Structure 1
């Protein structure tokens, strides 16, 4: 069994042997295999050969497709359209071939790393990509957890509380862990599945377009692609030097630009701000402050940027560690996890625990005094960062007299409205007729460390059961479908919720809901329901009064959680 780091920019393979992980080289003798696929006629190119064709054959080449895992997005390569899972499977097949050549044996079982903030659909898409490559993904391991395993193996007997700051090519994860007596316990994870080194390159590319005097939006796709490639080169140079001279040809015109590290940092200021929110959420969930940390570890190639190291040093008031190459740590840890799954005797004294990266729950509704039903609310049953395995239960009642069925819609996410979370599945439960609220069900959700989610509903009165096991991929709305629904909604008469003040107030409640958990979440959910009800009533005076009454409570919650 081998470990694989399936990265946005580069991928690696690693094997655990003789008590330690060992990285394997590809056919070119390199450890890093670019996660790039290109079509040359009927021939598929993967890795460095494909990367070299990004400039010469951009329409036949795809990169950074990891971000589209679990979606219906397709990539056009020549005359073919491929999904992210299919492109990833080609990278995985290349890694499989390289591993078999290096080890002289057939490879079937693997442990593959995924961003901690990948949802269930993205994780299932990764498993599907493995299957298409002829591999059996026996376990998915969160990338910062894998990195922690690589570092923990160096210091098995030590005790420490540390944070892994993982900024890769396309994703950002932050995880707080505790290490004691060979046990590696994840306390909390958070992140942003759409923030990574690629975004920093694009920010610099847009700054370069401004210097040229052509707005980014007015550049042709080919020109934007050329600027991104040049910006990626400049990004790497500016990590070691204070300035860089870029020479490029766009639309037949030659340009020479001088870029400074200050230019780069200014272009990326908004991205640096986005890094703070997952960190704040992680510390809120653990109840710790930065002084409680013994170590801060940097993982991912994008952490080589000086602005990232400086930001981390300021945030945590200590110099971060990079004793393991940030490009290698995840793959090394994936191999350690593979050895743990295979029960390698060299790791008898090593134990790894993990947490749920997202909350899992069901859709609920409430009935107002006037009989209006307000639905679409998310009720978590297993909250984010709950140690796994976990099993939790909650009870729910009927809303109408003589109701004979209850629909259970399962969602994953942190938003208070289910429309903003990921739908995992649904089923129906038959219940006896009775007065509203007198009949109901218990809903139990069980979450396995391997990512398996089992949902079971039991009728409170007669004990009838129904349920499902979440295994299949999640179908997501395409951008076209979302745009169509938005257009339909906009055709309705103007509503008070469209008022800027009300929209901002709703957004504030939802933001705090995503930050909070437990009793605070129940309080905020209730406030959201009440305010939604006031908006439905369309009484400006009542809406204004409620904003004032709730504002003080929101101020207190905001100050407590964010300060």
Structure 2
């Protein structure tokens, strides 16, 4: 939505949202204020287009000269528009069709539906077997999203008419927290999940996923069989990582720990077999074990892993709420 509004404004005021090199402190403040107002207006437009087919931009807000009383700074539209005429003929109307076309172009709908399919397939849900769908969050108010979900599950009604989808999750979380504090709820009612895939490093720094993201705790024990890769190999190590990358050296990957196994009997490459098992228990402790088939050689390791959101993701969320709320 921000790109749609920026394009609409810059058709009449070229460079209005372009950050220039060597900006003074006042110019930087002006620019940052413009971006904040743009984001706020984008958020408002997105929300209102869920119920309306078109909405008008608040041009008075977007083009206001009153940017910061502390610095007594006013915006000179002539300077920022490179000499454009003072009379701007900006079309203030944004339509739902424009917004949906932009979402389509960016693959947002496809990504949204694919994620739902991924989750439902993991849990074994099939088309026609789902009787009730609860839609939560602002995205689920978008008509196109509702249409896609209805087609996916072959249903026409949703339960969110009985409650506010914008605060349903937080209200339920607060209610469960209250019940838990009062010891009026069984711990089994609330399920923690593995937020990112967990696996090991293979040859060539490739990442093999053993525990998928979205698995509920405790996870099932996953056992994979591996073989020695060279003659008379007496040791092997399993480097454990988490993340969404295809290679362990990707920026989004995070190293967790290493399980070492020593004392593998001598033999030709591929002759010795090692069974490696991994699981995460209810308390978020990762349990690793490995054993050489046909011998007494084995090893195990228990480590604590952080299943919370990454710190940079939390920082982004905090900045988002500080900007809009």
- Secondary structure of 2:205's match? strand
What does residue 399 of structure 1 align with?
A: 229
For residues 167 and 199 of structure 2, the distance between their equivalents in structure 1, rounded to whole angstroms, comes to 36
For residues 265 and 360 of structure 1, the distance between their equivalents in structure 2, rounded to whole angstroms, comes to 35
Match of 1:249 among 63, 82, 101: 63
Aligned pair in 2 of structure 1 residues 441, 326: CA closer, same or farther (>3 Å)? same
Please tell me whether the aligned partners of residues 430 and 459 of structure 1 are also in contact (alpha carbons under 8 angstroms).
Answer: no
TM-score by length of 2: 0.66
For residues 409 and 354 of structure 1, the distance between their equivalents in structure 2, rounded to whole angstroms, comes to 24
Q: CA RMSD in A?
A: 3.6
Match of 2:6 among 191, 209, 212: 209
- Secondary structure of 1:361's match? strand
Aligned pair in 2 of structure 1 residues 329, 432: CA closer, same or farther (>3 Å)? same
Q: CA shift at 1:295, angstroms?
A: 0.7
For residues 215 and 274 of structure 1, the distance between their equivalents in structure 2, rounded to whole angstroms, comes to 33
What does residue 207 of structure 2 align with?
A: 378
1:388 aligns with 2:224: no
1:522-561 alignment to 2 at 5 Å? Answer: none
For residues 119 and 210 of structure 2, the distance between their equivalents in structure 1, rounded to whole angstroms, comes to 19
TM-score by length of 1: 0.41
What does residue 199 of structure 2 align with?
A: 361
Q: Deviations over 1:68-99 (max 9, x none)?
A: xxxxxxxxxxxxxxxxxxxxxxxxxxxxxxxx
Higher helix share: 1
- Secondary structure of 1:263's match? helix
For residues 212 and 147 of structure 2, the distance between their equivalents in structure 1, rounded to whole angstroms, comes to 33
Please tell me whether the aligned partners of residues 262 and 297 of structure 2 are also in contact (alpha carbons under 8 angstroms).
Answer: no
What does residue 454 of structure 1 align with?
A: 287
For residues 455 and 340 of structure 1, the distance between their equivalents in structure 2, rounded to whole angstroms, comes to 34
For residues 134 and 145 of structure 2, the distance between their equivalents in structure 1, rounded to whole angstroms, comes to 12
1:145-156 alignment to 2 at 5 Å? Answer: none
1:248-397 alignment to 2 at 5 Å? Answer: 248-249=62-63, 252-253=76-77, 256=90, 257-269=92-104, 270=106, 271-316=108-153, 317-322=155-160, 323-338=162-177, 341-342=180-181, 344-345=183-184, 347=185, 351-353=189-191, 356-365=194-203, 375-384=204-213, 386-389=215-218, 390-397=220-227
Match of 2:254 among 410, 416, 423: 423
For residues 409 and 260 of structure 1, the distance between their equivalents in structure 2, rounded to whole angstroms, comes to 52
Please tell me whether the aligned partners of residues 198 and 240 of structure 2 are also in contact (alpha carbons under 8 angstroms).
Answer: yes
Higher RCO, 1 or 2 (CA under 8 Å, sep at least 6)? 1
- Secondary structure of 1:469's match? strand
**Larger of the two Rg values belongs to structure:** 2
Aligned pair in 2 of structure 1 residues 297, 215: CA closer, same or farther (>3 Å)? farther
- Secondary structure of 1:465's match? strand
For residues 168 and 297 of structure 2, the distance between their equivalents in structure 1, rounded to whole angstroms, comes to 49
Please tell me whether the aligned partners of residues 200 and 240 of structure 2 are also in contact (alpha carbons under 8 angstroms).
Answer: yes
Number of aligned residues? 263
What does residue 303 of structure 2 align with?
A: 469
Gaps in structure 1 of 5+ consecutive residues: 1-203, 366-374, 479-563
Gaps in structure 2 of 5+ consecutive residues: 20-30, 65-74, 78-85, 313-325
Higher strand share: 1
For residues 444 and 383 of structure 1, the distance between their equivalents in structure 2, rounded to whole angstroms, comes to 14
Q: Deviations over 1:395-426 (max 9, x none)?
A: 32221223333221113356654445733423
Please tell me whether the aligned partners of residues 401 and 433 of structure 1 are also in contact (alpha carbons under 8 angstroms).
Answer: no
For residues 6 and 257 of structure 2, the distance between their equivalents in structure 1, rounded to whole angstroms, comes to 48
For residues 270 and 187 of structure 2, the distance between their equivalents in structure 1, rounded to whole angstroms, comes to 51
Match of 1:445 among 267, 278, 281: 278
For residues 364 and 406 of structure 1, the distance between their equivalents in structure 2, rounded to whole angstroms, comes to 12
